[in-house]
Amino acid sequence: MKKIAILASGSGTNAERIARYFATHPSIGVDMILSNRADAYVLKRAEAMQIPTSIFTRQELADPGGVAALLERREISLVVLAGFLWLVPPALLNAFPQKVINIHPALLPDYGGKNMYGSRVHQAVIEAGETESGITIHRVNEQYDRGDIIFQARCPVLPGDTIDTLAQRIHELEYQHFPRVIEQLLS
């Protein structure tokens, strides 16, 4: 069985979609959901799906004996960032080389980097007058949103779009593609 660990900081809609996608998969499953925030709603979603959880500090993430060691003991095959907002430290990247991936709500390399997440990304795309946006699934490295691109999907930015209407189309792309790309990486 190939095991996925999901790191999330917020509500966890992508984490839940991934977990449900793999709930009956014969050879891939979500083994654990971890968060840097004790009040993150993703932990409630995990509990409802009976997926083990862990809350960690910045120090535990940076320490090779912390989160990285926990995931190694659990024999995790892939670490998936799903709305996780911290920069991933070398301890985790070294423990899981080329095995940490992220999803970003824009077409990287544009509209990425520190503090570019969620509605901030959609606002920047709309303000720039872009006619297209989308999602990027990429490998994680030591810089925000700079790892190798694995997959992109596009959608139009329509005249009159608001942050919310664009975000809704982006979420649909995430829900449709993220679990399938994870499956392809682990197959």
User: What's 180's domain CATH number?
Assistant: 3.40.50.170
| Mean pLDDT taken over the chain | 97
Both tokens of 31, joined, read 């083994």
Q: pTM of the entire structure?
A: 0.96
Q: What is the DSSP string of 118-140?
A: THHHHHHHHHTT-SEEEEEEEE-
Label residue 70 by pLDDT band (50, 70, 90).
very high
The stretch 125-149 carries a mean pLDDT of 97
CB neighbourhood size of 57 (10 A) = 11
**Cβ contacts of 134 within 8 Å, gap of 6 or more:** 106, 107, 152, 153, 154, 155, 170, 173
Sign of CA dihedral 154, 148, 184, 34: negative
What was the pLDDT predicted at 187?
93
Q: What pLDDT was estimated at residue 32?
A: 98
Domain count, the chain: 1
Please list the active-site residues.
Answer: 104
Residues 128-144, mean pLDDT to the nearest whole number: 97
Which amino acid type is present at position 64? P
Range of the domain at 18: 2-186
Report pLDDT for 103: 97
Q: What is the pLDDT of residue 113?
A: 94
The whole-number pLDDT of residue 44 equals 98
Say what percent of the chain tops pLDDT 70. 100
Look-up of token digits 């990027």: 136
Average pLDDT of span 60-74: 97
